[in-house]
Amino acid sequence: MTNTIIPWAPYAEGETIVSRGRRTLVSAFADLVAVQHGFARYELPEIFAAPADEGENDACRHMVMLDAAFLSRQFVLGKLATFARPLGGGEITPIPAEHWEVDDPLPSMATGAYNPEDWADPDAPLTHRIFVDGPAFDEWLAALKPLGTMTNREVEEALDPQLRAARAVAARRVKTALEPQGQSFGSDAGVSLSQSLSAGEELLTRPEVEALVKLGRSAIYAKIKDDGFPENIMLGGRAVWRKSEVMAWVEEKAAQGRGSKG
């Protein structure tokens, strides 16, 4: 049996499909997106029907795409088991982990179904509904730390790959410049505060940031909002910044100045 399932349509419908000890992929993915970003299940069809705008709509779609890649990675690594059942009902069989080794897992998340015979072809007729091990998924989701909302810098980088690349180059240059002085830290701008502290990365107070970039407090917060300046961290009730991120911003602006002169 094959069926046409309109992508994201299952998220607008009530969940009526049951399986002993298993959850539909649609149900599981809806819960993941809700935990990660606060999107309600019914919002997913709206998110993917919204026009491209190089703004909020595109950023929301990008976040959901990242969630799809994240969940499929758990399937590939064998951390969560998945199962297939013929559309309409029938015998449930395990889905091999390699069936999740695809370039884009989003189509499967959008429909909650796939074709075991042509699993690598996103356009193959859908023949089986996908289920996830219910108890294992619930335990995994309960232990998952929510990502929270995207920062202004993260939204900018999601919408502008060239900007993301420029910032990555600037961060590497600063990393190279600081490491000989004992300032060892990861190149990933998303490194946690605890990782920064354990790596010995220097944290700057607001007055120190003002002195470094030659900007006042209001200008700094304005640039956080409008010019990609690194956001502060609250530590013991005090705002601090990672020196590496501030220096990378300075290097990024310097590089832009050099480019405009060329």
pLDDT tens digit string along 54-110?
A: 778 888 888 899 999 999 999 999 999 999 999 988 999 999 999 999 999 999 999
Q: How far apart are CA 201 and CA 198, in angstroms?
A: 8
Same domain assignment for residues 120 and 65: yes
- In the predicted model, is pLDDT for residue 191 greater than 70? no
> Cα–Cα distance between 152 and 159 in angstroms, integer?
11
The β-bridge relationship of strands 128-133 and 113-114 is antiparallel
Tell me what the mean pLDDT of segment 226-234 comes to.
85
Mean pLDDT value of segment 1-16: 80
Task: Look at the chain and report how many structural domains it folds into.
Answer: 2
- Better-predicted residue by pLDDT, 188 or 59: 59
Is residue 206 located within the same domain as residue 107? no
Identify whether residues 225 and 133 lie together within a single domain.
no
Given a contact cutoff of 8 angstroms between Cβ atoms, the answer to whether 206 and 239 are in contact is: yes
Q: Are residues 16 and 96 in the same domain?
A: yes
* Dihedral angle over CA of 158, 164, 167, 173, nearest 10: 140
- The pLDDT score that the predictor gives to residue 35 is 85
Residue 242's Cβ-count burial label (10 Å; 0-12, 13-18, 19+) is: buried
Domain that holds residue 212: 152-261
Lowest model confidence (mean pLDDT) among 61-65, 198-202, 207-211: 198-202
Domain assignment of residue 173, yes or no: yes
Of 87, 109, 143, the domain-final residue: 143
Give CA–CA dist 121/115, Å, rounded: 8
Q: In the predicted model, what is the mean pLDDT of residues 9-14?
A: 87
- pLDDT at res. 147: 56
96 & 162 share domain: no
pLDDT of residue 46: 92
pLDDT on residue 1: 55
Share of the chain above pLDDT 70, in %: 80
Domain end (from 143, 160, 191): 143
| pLDDT beyond 70 at 211 | yes
Provide mean pLDDT across the span 5-14: 89
Average pLDDT, integer, range 144-156: 64
* 28 in a structural domain: yes
Rounded to whole angstroms, the Cα distance separating 26 from 113 reads 9
pTM equals 0.59
Task: Find all residues with CB under 8 Å of 40, minimum gap 6, and list them.
Answer: 34
Q: From the CB of residue 141, how many other CB atoms can be counted at a distance below 10 Å?
A: 16
Structure confidence at residue 188 (pLDDT) = 42
With cut-offs at 50, 70 and 90, classify the pLDDT of residue 148: low
* Average pLDDT over every residue of 19-39: 89
